[in-house]
């Protein structure tokens, strides 16, 4: 997708422009470091696309796009502390490279910086922007708390899991698009529809993430295939496997998860999932959300060619191998 | 001060009105708990007073007052993790009662809730409110980072220390007052002056805190007198003691700080401080900031009787014994 590069270049330029003070260096060095590591910049790109879809310009939406990207990075820095994750995007996480206190505080200041970006938008749209941004930020925190709560629960339902990923990751995609729409002064109905589009693309994207973790091509994936299985993570695949298993099979599954040899564990779990149709069942849920997303996009009242970049992006995300 | 009770009652009423969701309970229970512990509610009271001083009403300023109070509580929850503080206001801190992850995340959501409060104010003043609130929030984080950095440094100057407490605690008092002034549509000059008043009251207040820690009446103080000495905390008293000591005396001071018996340590350090005039020297710095504050208030272009509540509050804060 040629267009994606055009958008992401714009975001990278803006990120480089951020002029963090040199002192206190323990507060700002981690932010310089973490923002330079990169990432797909998918969320701010959605804001730019949302603005253009409804007739505004990319430039006008840049502050909001940056607010969304800074917020996302704040949440990653704090999530990494809570999840005790040593590596993010192939590099050391902030709390590993520095320490947890520094990661807490630099995350905090990054969240405030997100609001400073937001405050650059026109006063006429500020109230609407703040409302969707604030509500989303609260939901993202709720999603992270549910995710942590579910680690110690053995009765998480598939509905609860989908609701958790909706809060933790998908609402921010909907929010990103709607902020673009707000800046372009789209109608309330169009705003709601593009939010729906983003939210369901987000859910489908996250399910795709769960599937890829076990089924990606190891040559293309860039990280260990089967990582979720090895860490006994409750992904949609595992929840679906439990749902599709009878009580004897459930015991078999638990035995597989107790396997100590990592390669053997991943391959036998995969074989077991295949035997009961876990991948297809998850793919079906993913496709359902992809369809709901496209349906919402279809209903938006703008010329069809304005929807093209969003449709392309969605297809790109659904067909990715990484 | 009769008036103070009137204001703080109003704030308590608003705090009780906050309707946090019941789920996820690990996210919201800590906030219900922490906000109920109390505190002086000094900052939101300043916002209400700031609004009234410039002819607006207390009611109009309530959302901003609450934003300031929620922000303050967010910063306390996170600071307590970083400082490994087990007790706050006589009760367990959030990370002690729950755990650090829950304290991080509930702090995060509280910061967003502060912005949700702020977003309730009129669109016409939103931009000015966001600008002062955001800039202050960044400074508070910087102050906390400097405070942590200074723990491992032995060459902190008194200027650096004052700048640290200015950022960590005093700017929020200035901000609280200025937000009230913004809501009342005060002139730019009056806004700056009331901010100055609050900021210097804040610095004086913090120095008072340092002095009281060692010189309070144990019957009135409510916590252990000499706590800062026992934890070897770099307060203004200690920095001043170093400044006033020659090299032989500095060695003597270090010996005193190595004393293991707590009561003996506090009493001999106090005796040493008295012998070189530490308390008076700190009191002088405090009085200087109190004077700068009163000077700024004097210059504000409003009828003198409008300044009375602020002058009374300042006097109350400076004469406190707790």
B123 to A124: CB separation less than 8 angstroms, yes or no: yes
Return the beta strands (E) in A254-314 as ranges.
none
> What helix, strand, coil percent values describe chain B, rounded to 5?
80, 0, 20
Scanning A247-266 for CB atoms below 8 A from B yields none
pLDDT at A266 over 70: yes
CA distances from B302 to A57, B2, B45, B60 (A): 45, 23, 19, 19
CA–CA distance, A92 with A180 (Å, rounded to integer): 32
Q: Could you report how far apart the first and last alpha carbons of chain A are, in Å? A: 15
Calculate what percentage of chain A has a pLDDT beyond 90: 91
Q: Show the 3-state SS of A21-87.
A: CCCCHHHHHHHHHHHHHCCCCHHHHHHHHHHHHCCCCHHHHHHHHHHHHHHHHHHHHHHHHHCCCCE
pLDDT in tens, A144-180: 999 999 999 989 999 999 999 999 999 999 999 999 9
Contacts of A127 in chain B (CB under 8 A): 119, 123, 126
Mean predicted confidence (pLDDT) in A207-234: 90
Any idea which residue has 């913004």 for tokens? B182
**Percent helix, percent strand, percent coil in chain A, to nearest 5:** 80, 0, 20
Q: Do B119 and A131 touch (CB under 8 A)?
A: yes
- Asked if B314 and B42 count as a contact pair (C-beta separation under 8 A), the reply is no
- CB under 8 Å to A274, separation ≥6 — which residues? none
The closest alpha carbon to B183, from B66, B306, B59, B51, belongs to: B51
Distances (CA, A) of A136 to A142, A199, A270, B24: 10, 11, 35, 15
What are residue A241's phi and psi, to 5 degrees? -60, -45
More confident residue, B316 or A109: A109
pLDDT in tens, A39-50: 889 999 999 999
Cβ of B138 within 8 Å of Cβ of A109? The answer is yes
Q: Domain count for chain A, please give it.
A: 1
Q: Are strands A91-92 and A87-88 parallel, antiparallel or unpaired?
A: antiparallel
Calpha distance B13→B9 (Å, rounded): 6
Model pLDDT for residues A178-215, shown as the tens digit of each residue? 999 999 999 999 999 999 999 999 999 999 999 999 99
Alpha-carbon distance of A114 to A112, in angstroms, equals 5
**Mutation target vs B (from A109, A135, A163; most B CBs, 10 A cutoff):** A109
Q: Is the pLDDT of residue A256 over 80?
A: yes
Q: Which residues of B232-243 are buried (b: 16+ CB within 10 A; e: fewer)?
A: eebbbbbbbbbe
Pairing of strands B87-88, B91-92: antiparallel
Give the residue numbers spanning the domain of A8.
2-319
Mutation target to probe the B interface, by most B beta carbons within 10 A, among A101, A129, A167 is A101
DSSP symbols for B5-69: HHHHHHHHHHHHH----SSSHHHHHHHHHHHHH----HHHHHHHHHHHHTT--HHHHHHHHHHHH
Residue with tokens 């391959």: A267
pLDDT of residue B1: 55
Quick one: pLDDT at residue A1?
55
**pLDDT in single tens digits along all 322 residues of chain B:** 557 889 999 999 999 999 999 999 999 999 999 999 988 899 999 999 999 999 999 999 999 999 999 999 999 999 999 999 999 988 999 999 999 999 999 999 999 999 999 999 999 999 999 999 999 999 999 999 999 999 999 899 999 999 999 999 999 999 999 999 999 999 999 999 999 999 999 999 999 999 999 999 888 877 788 999 999 999 999 999 999 999 999 999 999 999 999 999 999 999 999 999 999 999 999 999 999 999 999 999 999 999 999 999 999 989 887 7
Residue A149, helix vs strand vs coil: helix
B141 touches chain A (CB under 8 A): yes
| CA-to-CA dists, residue A253 to A158, A207, A248, A278, B169, angstroms | 18, 21, 9, 13, 55
ipTM, two decimals, is: 0.96
Q: Which residues of B touch A107 (CB under 8 A)?
A: 108
Give dist(CA B17, CA A237) in Å, integer. Answer: 42
| Structure token digits, residue B313 | 């509050």
Q: For A11-14, which contacts have Cβ atoms below 8 Å and span 24 or more sequence positions?
A: A11/A41, A11/A44, A11/A45, A11/A48, A11/A65, A11/A66, A11/A69, A12/A41, A14/A62, A14/A65, A14/A66
**Using the beta-carbon criterion (under 8 Å), do A101 and B82 form an inter-chain contact?**
yes
Which chain B residues contact residue A135 at CB under 8 A?
116
Put simply, the answer to whether B126 touches A126 (Cβ < 8 Å) is yes
Q: pTM, whole model, 2 decimals?
A: 0.96
- Tell me which chain A residue has its CA closest to the CA of residue B125: A123
For A105, the closest of B82, B105, B127 (CB atoms) is B82
Q: How far is A47 from chain B (nearest CA, A)?
A: 20
How far apart are alpha carbons A175 and A198 in whole angstroms? 8
Segment B120-125 long-range contacts (CB within 8 Å, at least 24 positions apart): B120/B63, B121/B63, B121/B64, B121/B183, B122/B183, B123/A123, B123/A124, B123/A126, B123/A127, B124/A123, B125/B182, B125/B183, B125/B185
- Comparing CB atoms, the residue among A24, A100, A131 nearest residue B142 is A24
- Tell me the pLDDT band of A321, cut-offs 50, 70 and 90: confident
Q: Which of A102, A109, A110, A141 to mutate to test the interface with B (most CBs of B within 10 A)?
A: A141
> In this complex, do B108 and A141 lie within 8 Å of one another by their Cβ atoms?
yes
Mutate to test the interface with A, among B141, B143, B148, B160 (most CBs of A within 10 A): B141
Q: Which of A110, A89, A112, A106 is nearest to A222 (CA)?
A: A89
CA distances from B154 to B13, B232, B239 (A): 45, 12, 10
Q: Peptide bond preceding A80: is omega within 30 degrees of 0, i.e. cis?
A: no
pLDDT in tens, A299-319: 999 999 999 999 999 999 898
* Residue A247 buriedness (CB in 10 A; 0-12 / 13-18 / 19+): exposed
Q: Answer whether B78 sits within 8 Å of A108, measured CB to CB.
A: yes
* Residues A104, B78: C-beta atoms closer than 8 Å: yes
Q: What is the mean pLDDT of chain A?
A: 95
DSSP state of A93: -
Q: Cis peptide leading into A24, omega within 30 of 0? A: yes
Task: List residues bridging with B92 in a β-sheet.
Answer: B87
Mean pLDDT of A24-45: 96
Q: What is the mean pLDDT of residues A24-29?
A: 98
| Cβ atoms of residues B286 and B292 within 8 Å | no
A167: nearest CA partner in chain B: B24
Q: Looking at residue A171, which CATH number applies to its domain? A: 1.10.600.10
Six token digits for residue A263: 């390669």
């Amino acid at each position: 997708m040629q267009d994606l590069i055009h958008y992401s270049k714009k975001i990278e330029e803006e990120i480089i422009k951020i002029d963090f003070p040199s002192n206190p260096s323990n507060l700002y060095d981690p932010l310089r470091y973490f923002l330079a590591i990169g990432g797909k910049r998918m969320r701010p790109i959605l804001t730019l696309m949302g603005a253009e879809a409804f007739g505004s310009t990319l430039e006008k939406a840049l502050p909001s796009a940056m607010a969304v990207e800074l917020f996302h990075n704040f949440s990653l820095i704090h999530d990494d502390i809570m999840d005790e994750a040593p590596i993010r995007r192939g590099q050391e996480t902030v709390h590993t490279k520095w320490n947890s206190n520094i990661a807490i505080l630099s995350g905090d200041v990054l969240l405030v910086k997100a609001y400073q970006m937001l405050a650059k938008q026109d006063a006429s749209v500020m109230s609407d922007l703040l409302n969707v941004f604030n509500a989303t930020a609260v939901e993202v925190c709720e999603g992270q708390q549910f995710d942590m709560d579910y680690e110690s629960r053995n009765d998480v339902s598939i509905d609860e899991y989908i609701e958790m990923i909706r809060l933790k990751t998908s609402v921010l995609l909907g929010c990103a698009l709607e902020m673009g729409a707000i800046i372009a002064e789209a109608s309330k109905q169009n705003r709601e529809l593009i939010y729906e589009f983003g939210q369901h693309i987000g859910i489908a994207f996250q399910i795709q993430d769960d599937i890829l973790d076990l089924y990606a091509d190891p040559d293309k994936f860039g990280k260990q295939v089967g990582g979720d299985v090895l860490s006994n993570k409750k992904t949609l695949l595992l929840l679906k496997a439990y749902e599709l298993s009878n009580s004897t099979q459930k015991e078999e599954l638990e035995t597989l998860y107790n396997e100590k040899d990592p390669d053997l564990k991943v391959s036998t779990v995969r074989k077991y999932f295949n035997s009961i149709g876990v991948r297809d069942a998850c793919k079906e849920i993913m496709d359902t959300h992809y369809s709901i997303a496209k349906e919402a996009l279809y209903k938006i009242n703008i010329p069809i060619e304005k929807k093209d970049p969003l449709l392309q992006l969605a297809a790109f995300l659904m067909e990715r191998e990484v």
